[in-house]
Amino acid sequence: MVVGHFLEETSYPFPALKLWKAMCDMHNLMPKVMPEFIASVVVLEGSGGVGTVKKTKFTEAVKDFKYTKERVDVIDHDKFVYKYTIIEGGLCGQIVKWYSFDMKLESVGDGCVAKMKVEYDSLGDSLLTDDQIAQIKAGNQGMAKAVQAYLQANPALYA
């Protein structure tokens, strides 16, 4: 097994605080934002803070897996830092042992940038391929675009 990582940045046209509030409410937001892909998000343990475990169930439109189970590792409301680890489901057992998303929001003008570091422990003896990383990034970008569109269509949310 080999531990690796990659980086990704996404720009948003609204303040970091608005996106932060949305990120902290993703268990409620994602089924509304992407109902064609996300059937439900259920909190299994905890109350939303560090240590909380959530299970996301996907619809039949997601062919590669049925669910993910994630654990919240870090929430820093002052620095807009949110980290969680996928501990079961998703790509776990397929190409990685685990993978985590470490996100930090930074204000830029009237908008913000979400900087994300994705870390993983591969099941094989090599890092993920460029194609595998591109697939993960494409999924993240799809979610980012859906969240952005939803927040723009509902400007009073998370104000």
Q: Are 55 and 135 in contact (CB under 8 A)?
A: no
Q: What is the pLDDT of residue 124?
A: 87
Collapse the DSSP code of 23 into the 3-class scheme (helix H, G, I; strand E, B; otherwise coil) and give the result: helix
- At residue 41, the pLDDT reads 96
CATH level 3 topology of 3-153: Alpha-D-Glucose-1,6-Bisphosphate; Chain A, domain 4 (3.30.530)
Give the integer Cα–Cα distance in Å for 68 and 55: 6
* Stated length of the chain: 159
Q: What is the mean pLDDT of each run of 10 residues along the chain (159 residues)?
A: 93 95 93 96 94 97 94 97 96 94 96 97 93 92 94 94
